[in-house]
Amino acid sequence: MDFSIKACEWTKGTTNGFLTGKSDCIVLGVFESQTLNGAALEIDTATKGLITRIVKAGDMQGKSGTTLFLPEVSGIGASRVLLVGLGKQDGFGQKAYGDAVRAAWRAILGTKIAQVTFTLSQLPVQERGGEWAVKAAILALRAETYQFTQMKGKPEPVKRNLKRIVFSVDAADEKLAKAAAKEGAALANGMDLARDLGNLPGNVCTPTYLADTAKKLGKEWNLKTEILGVKQLEALKMGSMLSVTRGSAQPPQFIVMQYQGAGAKTAPIVLVGKGITFDSGGISLKPGEGMDEMKYDMCGAASVFGTLRAVAELGLKLNVVGIVPACENMPSSTATKPGDIVTSMSGQTIEILNTDAEGRLVLCDALTYAERFKPAAVVDVATLTGACVIALGHHMSGLFSKDDALAGELLDAAREAADPAWRMPLDEEYQEQLKSNFADVANIGGRPGGSVTAACFLSRFTSAYPWAHLDIAGTAWKSGAAKGSTGRPVPLLTQFLIDRAAQ
């Protein structure tokens, strides 16, 4: 799809060709119980009061999410008009805008419309500018058009009639809106990669598949890519990660991808993504119901892949390292057993009380490995705990960090990207739950505060740099009829890196 930006001051009569410009459809917003304004008023005038008559007749009342096509409209260049209900104008915020945008795209995608003039990007969204509105509209469109069909025997052909969208923005927003359109497209591409990797089944998306994907990404986007195998992990004394993979026939792959957009001496941001391509729980076997969704246990890794792709496409002026410890967690006669004690790369010994708490075992060695890059900051991303889902549901990712500045940056990025996160505690008192009679630390701390003690475990391996942990167990995928990977938190991570590059 082609996205373009055009400045237009509807209220000043400088419509810049929008009234006469040829397109298949122009999209207009109508507030509930409000007089027409902006683009809707101008189009109403050009069509000799058509929209006013439609509103007075009750065919479009402006209720949020409602739509109405007006075919064969005379007096303007567009052959059709799509009216979109916006709800109440008072308090019109980003959620209401998102609802309106999604309703518009769904209506358009059900037609043969190929070229659209989109004026909703000029709506007065609370605390947001035109550039944000453009980016949000692009992401909403790409989410609506995303399909995962590659595993079907006879996939239906993807029909995408929509080819070109022209966004109307205020003249003052034009420059920023053009940059936002570029960001939106790159971010959508990264999210699609993350969705695809997450949605692939575990028999296809193995650790080796992820390694091959990293190599391909490296060639396409000039990333320095290195893959470490079993012998190299043994040489590095990554006993914690290797303990997870013992029960699987699939060999582990420790993936390192480096993007260099700044000078060689500039300290990188390191992103670490949990890459458990299937999690059976190991000897501590999970219940059978819903176990198929454990193919999503590598969504932290997928988000690192997606973020690096977006960063490379944008050409951000900073250095980023992506680390993905990838393996399966399976039960077998060679699998690690509850009660086993292993030695991590850091030298700390770990008593494994539950083999289903495996994500932290691969992450801790990856976090120790990250020290060699002398990073400016490290952010790990993982579908780590069901406890985080209980605490925050499926709306917010859990954010853990002892570094207030880093946590603040990530929360700011989450708000800007509309990819929300909530800061959770990481107090020393919780470390007591991880005490072991036989090793330096236990890998679980019991049911109370399970997401917190998991983060506390990881914190023991991060003293060398500023660090934050994102628990995305509740946000990385959806269940039920809408089952599928969400691509989160690629928006949060990418925005964080955009902000860092701008510093």
Choice among 286, 402, 415, 500 that is catalytic: 286
For the chain, first and last CA: distance in Å? 31
Question: In 3D, which of 364, 334, 354 has the Cα closest to residue 442?
Answer: 354
In the numeric block, the tokens 């944000």 are attached to: 132
Q: What's the angle, vertex CA 221, arms to CA 178 and CA 416, rounded to 5?
A: 40
- Quick check: 318 and 500 in contact, CB under 8 A? yes
Whole-angstrom CA distances from 427 to 370, 408, 431, 456, 459 are 24, 17, 8, 8, 11
Q: By the 8 A CB rule, do 300 and 367 touch?
A: no
Q: Which residues are 166's β-sheet partners?
A: 4, 117
- Quickly tell me which residue has 């509105």 as its tokens: 133
* DSSP assignment of 373-416: G--SEEEEEE---HHHHHHHTTT-EEEE-S-HHHHHHHHHHHHH
- The Cα 345–Cα 357 span in angstroms is 18
Q: Residue 231 is encoded by which pair of tokens?
A: 């012998």
Q: Return the closest-CA partner of residue 457 out of 433, 424, 421.
A: 433
Known catalytic membership, residue 360: yes
Catalytic residue among 80, 360, 460, 488: 360
Are the CB atoms for 83 and 70 separated by under 8 Å? Answer: yes
d(CA 290, CA 302): 20
* Helix 299-314 / helix 490-501 crossing angle, nearest 10 deg: 40
CA angle, residues 80, 85, 90, in degrees to nearest 5: 140
Instruction: Report the SS3 class of residue 128.
Output: coil
CA-to-CA distance for 319 and 224, rounded, in angstroms?
A: 12
Quote the crossing angle between the two packed helices 450-459 and 359-369, to the nearest 10°: 30
Give the rounded distance of the alpha carbon of 201 from its chain centre. 20
Q: Which residues form the catalytic set?
A: 286, 360
